[in-house]
Structure 1
Amino acid sequence: MAETSREQVRRATLEGLKAGQICKGVVSAIEPFGAFVDIGGLDGLVSVAELTWTHVEAVSDIVEIGQEVTVVVLDVDLDRERCALSLKALHADPLPEFARTQLGCVVIGRVEKLVKIGAFVRVNEHCVGLVPWPDLAGRTTDPSESAVQVGDEVAVEVVAINLVKRRILLSLRP
């Protein structure tokens, strides 16, 4: 009997949701692909891509089980009894503003990661760009021989920004 009642509440919540609606909920589970949020007896999914505008290493870096959150309903699938939610939709995309104000400028950033193609540098709270290896001192593709290391503060020029692919190209400055 209780299971039937719970299912009725869940179905009623699902049927009452509309895309664009803002809801409050509680994070009920964390998975590598996203977080489930309980909104009135229904667990909706906030995929990794919808957690934040910045790159996510681990879902648990953004939310934790039991945390109260406000989400935007992206999609409701009555046939599959699922709903897609977003945390980032509540905030404006920071990249267009960064592009308007910083393109062509030299900024100070912190090296976050060294990879085969270059160094990722955080240039503000929301934006990370790439300094390609050919632009780094030493002209090497070996991260262990890089002129910069993770944690270093560096001056970089914001050379290009691709708003569609959400990529920032940086150049190391002396």
Structure 2
Amino acid sequence: MTREQNDVSAAVTWGLLAAWALHDTEELVMVPRWVRTRVPELRKRFPRVPEAAWRRLEAVDAREFRTAVAAMAAVLAAAVADGHRTGGRSAVYQTALNAFGLHGLVHLAQAATMRGYTPGSATTPLVVLPFTVWARGRLRRSGVLRPARPRDLAQGLGFAAAATVLTHAVAQGARRRR
């Protein structure tokens, strides 16, 4: 193991999984109730959103949401393990780290659009963004952080979106098998 790999501690790599778990705990607790109470208001406020989207959102029960979160934990754990194995050099780990931070910005944009709380917006400024900035700084100081280019931002957002779609598809499949 090189000196640079030693400089990237487990807190940088496995810390991503821990920060994600704290953040998603907020979502696990808040999403089901928030959806139940806010969708009627959202329908009125955003009339251009297709009715099928609102029905699909309302159809996600707490069990299906927990399954999707568990599937996302597996995706993230694989990326984190690769990051740890490579001393933070893994493109998959760095993309997942970028995705985590960028998805936090999406949470803040959602809260701004709603002019109030949305699930995930409380832990974003307390956990998501500080961890992402700290971990990227540690990777940078260790000399393993890939430069952030617009393409990397697109990959991070794409990773987050694809992982979300995939994990919800897994949860829907599990729901249908029950």
Q: Do these two structures clear the TM 0.5 threshold for a shared fold by scoring above it?
A: no
Which structure: greater strand fraction?
Answer: 1
Report which structure shows greater RCO (CA 8 Å, sep ≥6).
Answer: 2
TM norm structure 1: 0.23
Structure number with greater Rg is 1
Which structure: greater helix fraction?
Answer: 2
